[in-house]
Amino acid sequence: MRVTPLVWISCGLVSLTISVLMAGDWLFDLAPNHDRQIFEYRRDLAESLAVQYSALTEREQIETVKFAMEVLAKRIPDILSLALLQKSGTVVAQIGDHARVWVQPPGEESTLDFLQVPIFSGEQRWGVLQVAFRQTQTDVSSLQRFLADPWVRFLAFVSVMGFFAYLFFMKRTLRQLDPSGIVPARVKAALDALAQGVVMIDTRDFIVLANDAFCHAVGKPVTSLIGSDLSTLSWTSVASSATVSVHPWTEAIMGRQSQADKPLLLRLPDGESRKFIINTVPIMDDASTVRGALVSFHDVTDLDRTNSALREANSELELSRFKILEKNQELETTNTSLHVEMSERKKVQAEKEELHQKLVQASRQAGMADVASSVLHNVGNVLTSINVSTDILLKTLKKPMVGDVCRIASMFHEHQDNLEAFLTQDSKGKQIPSYLGMVAESLSGSHQTIQSEIDSLVKKSTISSK
């Protein structure tokens, strides 16, 4: 398993700390010495006993000295034997098998286990107090004695706790550092120039680099994004709007494979949601170890909205096309009816002219000139009105609206494969919806005019027939 740089740095800092502590102990004696403390304690105890026992001996209270020795041995189990000896070597008082236990140190010195304190009577040396303590276990190995040393255990505690403390501290510190400070300015400018959002994360999904496009898309400054978990943003599924359990970048890092075209929704703090197409590429070192991932975010929110608007416009155009076809059928039916009606009107006109001739002839024959003149005047008025209505009908039918509708239908047929692009991008196609409205309005007016004139003709023909 490869050791990360953070572990090496932590080990180095621990070694430096231990070296400083050991140097401080060597220079200034900072660490207490357990054996020295015990020796000083025992030496003080022995000197105190020597003073007390010498005073009791001068008063010849030997029994009191023995009793005090026995009480002391019971209270301090580490004491194996005590002996109060005169200068000549005569034992005044003792407890324990002192002759067997005692080991004479070289000269007049004392050791950790065998202490001797001289006793004086005035300025003359009277004797010596010898105290033998229980020796350190000889069956314990040097390694065990080394590990039992409090100073060694203290250094071991500092090493272990210091390692984890340094490791944790550096991880937290590096997480808060802005890696963009060490990124070359040209590289940072190139990333910020990209229209797509680009984010670099480590193996724990923490953001180590983000460009301006991503910061603008999520509505957060780069200082708040660096060191944060990319997965903690409000990512939801496009299909179900549910919270995503495994994100594409996590799949890329765990599976060591790129993840392409993964759609996700991001719910912003203001309540708006934006749709992103996400592509993730794992970052590997020379040893094929995944060190993080490079994630790109393509904001397709506006594109989706435009596509939705185009689909709605296409639906409206299809509906308009059906309405135009219906209007065309109505116009064709009306045109046929008008031709039939015109034929009938011409026939009626011919019959009326024939009738007029007969009336004139009859009036001449009957000698009723005044009556014939009045009748002819009324008939002339009726015929004039019929001619006016007929002229209006002919002018209405000659309007080019029907031909324009046919041309529009032909254009629709020609561009039926790219109807959406033709209506939204072509200069002629963009004018069709508004022109269709004008055609529909004109056709509606023409239809009302024709209907009104036909009703008038029917009414006048009825009056003339009477």
Is the pTM here over 0.85, yes or no?
A: no
How confident is the model over 207-265, as pLDDT tens digits? 888 888 888 888 888 877 887 888 888 888 887 777 888 889 989 988 889 999 999 98
The contacts found for 390-398 with CB under 8 angstroms, 24 or more apart, are 390/342, 390/345, 390/457, 392/449, 392/453, 393/338, 393/342, 393/450, 393/453, 393/454, 396/446, 396/449, 396/450, 396/453, 397/335, 397/338, 397/450
Task: Quickly state the pLDDT bin for 465 (edges 50, 70, 90).
Answer: low
How confident is the model over 10-53, as pLDDT tens digits? 888 889 898 888 888 777 766 666 677 788 888 888 888 888 88
Per-residue buried b or exposed e for 390-417, using 16+ beta carbons within 10 Å of the residue's own CB: beebeebeeeebbeebeebeebbeebee
**What's the start-to-end Cα distance of the chain, in Å?**
117
Among residues 309, 314, 328, 315, which one has the least CA distance to residue 436? 328
Q: 80 pairs with which residues across the strands?
A: none
Q: CA–CA separation, 234 vs 215, rounded Å?
A: 15
pLDDT at position 460: 65
SS3 for 273?
strand
Q: CA–CA separation, 61 vs 44, rounded Å?
A: 23
Task: Quickly state the pLDDT bin for 369 (edges 50, 70, 90).
Answer: low
Tell me the CB-side half-sphere exposure of residue 424, using CA atoms within 13 A.
14
Among residues 221, 198, 218, 310, which one has the least CA distance to residue 273? 218
- The better pLDDT of the pair 389, 89 is held by 89
- Check pLDDT > 60 for residue 274: yes
The residue ranges of DSSP E strands in 197-272, in sequence order, are 197-201, 207-210, 235-236, 259-267
Domains 32-136 and 179-299 share a fold: yes
40 CA to centre of own chain: 66
In this prediction, residues 364-377 reach a mean pLDDT of 63
Q: Which fold has domain 32-136?
A: Beta-Lactamase (3.30.450)
In this prediction, residues 338-358 reach a mean pLDDT of 85
- Check pLDDT > 90 for residue 190: no
Among residues 194, 196, 191, which one has the least CA distance to residue 180? 191
pLDDT at position 401: 61
pLDDT at position 389: 67
SS3 for 466?
coil
Among residues 402, 397, 401, which one has the least CA distance to residue 340? 397
In this prediction, residues 294-311 reach a mean pLDDT of 88
Percent above pLDDT 70 for the chain: 82
pLDDT at position 323: 87
In this prediction, residues 407-424 reach a mean pLDDT of 77
Q: CA–CA separation, 256 vs 288, rounded Å?
A: 9
Spatial strand order in the sheet of 207-210: 207-210, 197-201, 290-299, 273-284, 259-267, 235-236
Q: What is the CATH number of domain 179-299?
A: 3.30.450.20
Give yes or no for a contact between 401 and 443, defined as CB atoms under 8 angstroms apart: yes
Distances (CA, A) of 242 to 237, 263, 417: 5, 13, 38
- The better pLDDT of the pair 172, 357 is held by 357
Among residues 316, 335, 342, 338, which one has the least CA distance to residue 406? 335
In this prediction, residues 302-306 reach a mean pLDDT of 86
- The better pLDDT of the pair 186, 111 is held by 111
Percent above pLDDT 90 for the chain: 5
pLDDT at position 295: 93
- The better pLDDT of the pair 394, 106 is held by 106
What are the domain boundaries of the chain? 32-136, 179-299, 305-465
Pairing of strands 91-95, 79-86: antiparallel
Distances (CA, A) of 402 to 428, 439, 442: 18, 9, 10
How confident is the model over 144-164, as pLDDT tens digits? 766 777 778 888 898 999 899
- The better pLDDT of the pair 396, 281 is held by 281
For the chain, the average pLDDT equals 80
Q: CA–CA separation, 202 vs 419, rounded Å?
A: 49
Task: Quickly state the pLDDT bin for 452 (edges 50, 70, 90).
Answer: confident
pLDDT at position 33: 67
Place of tokens 């596509």: 307
251 Cβ neighbours under 8 A, 6+ residues apart: 257, 259, 280
H/E stretch holding 219 reads none
- Check pLDDT > 80 for residue 309: yes
- Check pLDDT > 70 for residue 437: yes
Q: CA–CA separation, 450 vs 394, rounded Å?
A: 9
